[in-house]
Every structure is written in C-alpha cells, then in structure tokens.
Amino acid sequence: MPNKPQDPQSLMHQALTQAKKSPPKPTNYCVGALLINQATQEILSTGYTLELPGNTHAEQCCLAKYAAQHNVPEERVSEVLPPNTAIYTTMEPCNFRLSGNAPCVERIIQAKRIRTVYLGVKEPEKFVGENEGRGKLEECGIECVHVPGLEGEILEVATAGHEKGESE
C-alpha cells in the first residue's frame, strides 16, 4: 500500500501512536517503531514494546513481524527488506539488554538494508546507563536522524508505569 510522501514528523507521530499501545511497566520504556520503504514511503511493518511474546522491544517486533510476513526467520530479514529501508523509532535503539536478548542496534545492523534510523529521543540512562547505540549504528554506516518536536510527549508515553521521582 504505497503512501503519498510523508514528512519525518508525520511518521514519528505514527510511531508515537504505536508506543501508546505498549503496556506500561516500571521495567520497560513504551516505544513505538515503523519500518519504511524509503523509495515508496510504504509502511512495511509496525511495532511497539511488548507487542510480541517475551521481553520484546519495538524495533524487534517490527523486524520479527516483517520477517514472519515473508516466511523467513528474523535473522534472515535482510533477504526480504527493500534496499533502502528506514526505521522510525520513538527512542534511540538499545545497545545493551539486561534481559540477555539481542540489542535492537545489533538487530538493525544485521538487517543490512536499514540505511537510516529516525529517532525521537535519546534513551534515558535509567536502566543501562548511557546508550551508545547511535554511535555504533553510525560506525556501521547507518545514518541516524533526530526528528525534533515530540520529545516531551515521547518521554511521557515512554515512562508510563514508572514511578515519578520527587523532582518530576
């Protein structure tokens, strides 16, 4: 279903809509993601935190769902992705997972055809300290683009279910 060209702000709004579907938990951020064919502007897949069984992240769900649609395991999703795919994610992809699952940065790099990551906010340091995901993606030739303007709403949705500190 090819769409008319959409600006990054509009696509980030759609990713935020996905994030709002994530069940709030004190141990996760509610994140939303969209996998986009940049040539056609087609939304290939959507995802949000905890959408699929297990401690799944939004980017992981996007990739797993797209792979499943094409009857390949997630590890081989690069075989079926368009050559210039982008992923929109409300929060910087994780570079480390306390759960032991593969980090989203690693999944994006392994997908090979994702050339651009659009992100709404940097990951807060609450769970794993400073996230070095953006730097790792850029080292692998993947462009990272911050889409400004939704930071407050993204963080409000992302931290739903978290205890608010005294300063908040």
**Identity of the residue numbered 110:** Q
CB-based contacts of 117: which residues, under 8 Å, 6+ apart? 86, 87, 89, 93, 108, 134, 137, 142, 143, 144, 145
| Closest C-alpha among 167, 91, 90, 168 to residue 127 | 91
| Closest C-alpha among 93, 43, 155, 53 to residue 61 | 53
Over 90: is that where the pLDDT of 2 sits? Answer: no
May I ask the CATH class of domain 8-149?
A: alpha beta
| 5-23 per-position pLDDT tens digit | 689 999 999 999 999 999 9
| 46-87 per-position pLDDT tens digit | 999 999 998 899 999 999 999 999 999 999 999 999 999 999
Q: Which of 59, 106, 123, 151 is catalytic?
A: 59
| 129-156 per-position pLDDT tens digit | 566 888 999 999 999 999 999 999 999 9
**Identity of the residue numbered 115:** R
Our answer to whether residue 59 is catalytic in this structure is yes
Query: Domain ranges in the chain?
Result: 8-149
| 120-131 per-position pLDDT tens digit | 998 766 655 566
